[in-house]
Structure 1
């Protein structure tokens, strides 16, 4: 029985098959076969729930599909879900709970500051952590790569910043004003933008720092305009992106707003309304059915969660792929004895290519590389009529083919 279930899982997943319908609950595992416990941690309540909940839903969708065809060697995957409330102390406490509850791996974190406060827990307990959202560059740089248990299926800010800066230079926008909040995310993002500009022998025309919760940024915007800025590069994860756009329009300063993936969040698009129109941002996944894998994923998500629109599609898609990458790594553990070091080694040498929603993952990780996403997988998104679409027609055409790591 177990062998037959395992064969079913292996054939379906190795072929890259997505189950694009609501799957029934799987039967319990055979007697004596305990469920495989996997942690999930993120902001499932509070202001960051806009992307925390889609992340959780992406995980749940993948796990339900996997359990419906037998789980791992006949063992169901059981999720242990923890809400970090987007608060570093809470995230640390919830991470410690996951370690005590015996999870074999964890998928999680949306906020860079929360992740940074909790990484030591997973590293010290040798629990592989796969980060599907938190983009701060320091997240996968805290520990030496060959020793690190921290993996990521999201474009780190160093990649996003360089990707957007390259586009700005092509457009002739070389005088860049950087608006970054004072969180760990804003701090690391500002450093990445500076580095990306420096690589082009440029420096910011103006830099503004502000705390979360600010409601008016007219003064620093006036200063940026006086400095001759041609474009505003924002690095904040919440409502402050909308504040930048609204304050800019109040000043009647007609310059573009660009940034990382938070410019695709509802906080910005809905909060800024018409002022969000035309904003440009780095994306790994745009919720358009550009190929069979993405169509299948979007249809399955819509059916399971009864929604026509995913608030933050990248969070859901990257989390979904993270679960399957984790499962594929388990393929290398034929004995069923899953330990942290063994699972880490399997993640670093994925035995089979996973044809994912965001990308095709052939060797997403290695002992020296803990980030799965590369610039070749990025596209430029743009807000048009209240939704995110491709900024360039050629990106839409290229997106017919899921990109590989280069």
Structure 2
């Protein structure tokens, strides 16, 4: 028995020693689960690109960066359990990830109460960085680097109304919290423009035929459709349109940029436009380099969700800058350092972040960072030349 207890103590000491020699960062998302796995795999994949690059450069504070990956399965109860593991057992200094707002909303308070910085890198819903009811002077530990829903909607209707002058727009959304929030964002945007949708139609997660909803929108005279839903159901909307032979412009959120949308929709999704923060670039630069590294490190031919991967990578790059700035590996000091980043980021993919966070604003993505992508010949490309040229100019300025 004494030998057994001694072995346990030595093992525990070994683990503690290993943890002292590392900076442990949590990475959490839906690595399994039918509806969100594209995002989850890309969160994990983008994080692995960062970890390899960071550890090849040099050891930060004399320590190696170690990613601690947790699968929330897109389920709130599982997400809460995995979050507690990161906090209580894994002793991480910070966390990135989350793709589903329903999971995030329940897990975020755990990190706030534990005083561990969380940078949300894929969940676009809600006002999560302001959601916590904090006493005056209490530090906010919830950050986000995501093209959030309100910014996506702004880009979508800038495209539909300002650029293309459509006046009769139908809103199509799923009945998940994500879809319902999108519907409300669309209604709010149209109201500000003193416009009303000609139709508002809903479908359930798991539905495969949306012909009835689309027929009502067509009968109402819709000239274009604003779509809010997960990738799989979005693809079913496009296939329903193809069966109806109704060629109507469809503008969607970033979920339409995911690999499952392209694969499930096939030729039916051609021409779909979507609001995104990242588009793979084959012509060189940081975007192309990131894409190549992602494919090599993760042993794949494509990124399931380029947006989720790039946002996670950039979130970790900013976290690295904060670690360097404070020369620390303590969570509370790291929170302050994230708010104090005031040097332009050089290695980020989405944009060159100058002052991404402050004490009063924990949202790193701004409206000008959201662009319109379009599916052409089965690939996501820039929908408009002016946005592509602006992105290229920004890359050349680095």
TM normalised by structure 2 equals 0.89
Kindly indicate whether the alpha-carbon contact (under 8 Å) linking 1:376 and 1:403 is maintained by their aligned counterparts in 2. no
1:366 corresponds, among 334, 358, 372, to 358
Aligned mates of 1:210, 1:89 — CA distance in 2: 25
1:256 corresponds, among 246, 249, 252, to 249
Give the CA deviation at 1:403.
7.3
Partner residue, 1:317: 310
SS of corresponding position for 2:380: strand
| 2:365 paired with 1:377 | no
Give the CA deviation at 1:147.
4.0
Give the CA deviation at 1:292.
2.0
Kindly indicate whether the alpha-carbon contact (under 8 Å) linking 2:239 and 2:268 is maintained by their aligned counterparts in 1. yes
Partner residue, 2:333: 342
1:84 corresponds, among 72, 82, 95, to 72
Give the CA deviation at 1:299.
2.3
What are the Cα deviations for residues 272-329 of structure 1, in whole angstroms up to 9, with x where unaligned? 1111010010111111145522222122223222333212111111111111100101
How many residue pairs get aligned? The number is 375
Partner residue, 1:120: 109
Aligned mates of 2:255, 2:272 — CA distance in 1: 11
| 2:92 paired with 1:109 | no
Partner residue, 1:8: none
Aligned mates of 1:31, 1:319 — CA distance in 2: 25
SS of corresponding position for 1:361: coil
5 Å matches for 1:253-292? 253-292=246-285
Partner residue, 1:162: 154
Aligned mates of 1:152, 1:58 — CA distance in 2: 16
Give the CA deviation at 1:31.
8.9
Give the CA deviation at 1:148.
2.5
Partner residue, 1:35: 22
Partner residue, 1:68: 56
Structure 2 residue runs without a partner (length 5+): 1-16
Give the CA deviation at 1:224.
1.1
5 Å matches for 1:14-53? 33-47=20-34, 48-53=36-41
Judging by fraction of residues, say which structure has more helix: 2
| 2:229 paired with 1:240 | no
Partner residue, 2:7: none
Structure 1 residue runs without a partner (length 5+): 1-29
SS of corresponding position for 2:171: strand
5 Å matches for 1:172-211? 172-211=165-204
C-alpha spacing 1:227/1:345, structure 2 compared with 1 (3 Å): same
Runs of 4+ in 1 over 3 A off after TM superposition: 30-33, 144-147
Aligned mates of 1:97, 1:174 — CA distance in 2: 50
Kindly indicate whether the alpha-carbon contact (under 8 Å) linking 2:276 and 2:371 is maintained by their aligned counterparts in 1. yes
Aligned mates of 1:403, 1:153 — CA distance in 2: 19
Aligned mates of 2:113, 2:67 — CA distance in 1: 21
What are the Cα deviations for residues 232-259 of structure 1, in whole angstroms up to 9, with x where unaligned? 1111113110111111222222211111
Aligned mates of 1:347, 1:379 — CA distance in 2: 26
Aligned mates of 2:18, 2:252 — CA distance in 1: 52
Aligned mates of 1:395, 1:249 — CA distance in 2: 29
C-alpha spacing 1:279/1:168, structure 2 compared with 1 (3 Å): same
RMSD (Å), alpha carbons: 2.2
SS of corresponding position for 1:213: coil
C-alpha spacing 1:111/1:32, structure 2 compared with 1 (3 Å): closer
| 2:378 paired with 1:386 | yes
Partner residue, 2:292: 299
SS of corresponding position for 1:296: helix
What are the Cα deviations for residues 67-122 of structure 1, in whole angstroms up to 9, with x where unaligned? 12333211111111100011111111111111112111100101121111211111
Kindly indicate whether the alpha-carbon contact (under 8 Å) linking 1:291 and 1:401 is maintained by their aligned counterparts in 2. no
Aligned mates of 2:364, 2:213 — CA distance in 1: 36
C-alpha spacing 1:196/1:403, structure 2 compared with 1 (3 Å): farther
Aligned mates of 2:59, 2:48 — CA distance in 1: 13
